[in-house]
Amino acid sequence: MQLRGLTVAAVLLAILAGGVWWSNKTKKADEGKPPADASPKLTSFQEGDLKKIEVKRATGETTVLERDGSGTWRMTSPAGLPVDKDSATSLASSAASIASDSLVEEKATDFAPFGLASPSMEIAVTKKDGATTKVLLGDDTPTSSGVYARIAGDPRVFTLASYAKTSLDKTSKDLRDKRLLTFDSDKLSRVELSAKKTVTEFGKNNQNEWTIVKPEPYRADGWAVEELIRKLKEAKLDPNQSDEDAKKAAAAFASGTLVATAKMTDAGGTQTLEVHKSKDNKYYAKSSAVTGIFSVPDDTGTGLDKATDDFRNKKLFDFGFSEPTKVDYKDASRTLALSKSGEKWTNANKLVDSIGVQSLIDKLRDLSASKFGTTGFTTPVIEVTVVSNDGKRTEKVGIAKVGSDYLARREGEPALYQIDPKPVEDLQKAAGDVKEPPPPNPAKK
């Protein structure tokens, strides 16, 4: 009897162990599976695996994007249009993962009630391995919050959110590159602007800063040059321009007055934009990068209608927000030889009040020209040398009095800077205020 009892117990234990094993196996197999009532995705691919996207409408064009050998999206239908990288990437991302909202019909035999017998739009997604999935979109749902959809060859009918349809419903006008110039801002090496009867050419110096190369070597206002580049970078065509509008734009351009011609040179070559102003004060542009003539905003026209002096640096000193470590100042009444060590300033090895030195530096930093000159500089009445950028930058400026104004010249440059009297007077006063620090307050007894 005892042996029989042990045998029964062993059998029961084996059954129990088998049940636990089977339960664990079933649980692991179910892990990662979506819930039974979850709405499946119509497409579920990696965006990088896509090779071709075709968007076809029942009424309208068929737009086709294909990836070339370098992984760049190209528009093959309609052919010849450049592609906007961000728009193409967005479409590819949407097409790679199309999620349904709900399953409406498991095995539909008639797709007409859903508008899927003759779909309003078809999105065909082809992967690199050649496999193609075609998603068909039909009528809007009764609440207009979605659209009916199915996969070609699949009897199921789903609903798709309206925003998902919007992300897929792209035409060539939506996907084309709308820039009039397609240069790479990070790789620009030369910028040339012909306007106001002058030709201004910009280049980069050894510090990768913009300088004026022509008509003379001048210091450039970096912000002004970057603003010009931004205007050119953001000049865009209107993709909805009709044939009639195109004819009007061409006629206005031909009869208009030349405002400016810009040439942008990067690693890929040189592109040109020519802007004309019509009789009714509207601006039109022709680009070497795209075909056609297009109207452009007024700020594009005015942003290019500038002469060389509009891009010249009016500041007398370039140290900007880099704190100087040495300042030598000399005028008729005083001489300063300021040197910084740690947080302390000395004048000829004597400690001076740092607040007064900082005020002098601020006046030097703000010293700007009201306009430029070429002749008239005489013996300077003020001479200033500033060392900054950890000793790597030394700037010497002489200021001469000419009539009631002042002319300044930077060492090694032919350009002259006309300065109004007030900033020079403020500079002289600040130099006079550099003094020894006040004695410490006596200790209280």
Each domain of the chain, given as residue ranges in start order, spans 41-175, 185-311, 326-432
How far separated are the first and last CA of the chain, in Å rounded?
108
- Judged by phi (left if over 0) then psi (alpha if -120 to 50, else beta), residue 256 lies in beta
- Tell me the C-alpha distance between 149 and 284, whole Å: 44
Q: What are phi and psi of 360, to 5 degrees?
A: -65, -45
- Tell me the C-alpha distance between 152 and 169, whole Å: 18
- Tell me the C-alpha distance between 335 and 328, whole Å: 8
pLDDT of 263 reads 97
Query: Which segments of the chain have a pLDDT < 70?
Result: 1-39, 441-445
Class of domain 41-175: mainly beta
Reported pTM? 0.75
pLDDT of 33 reads 43
pLDDT of 11 reads 46
pLDDT of 179 reads 94
pLDDT of 108 reads 93
pLDDT of 31 reads 45
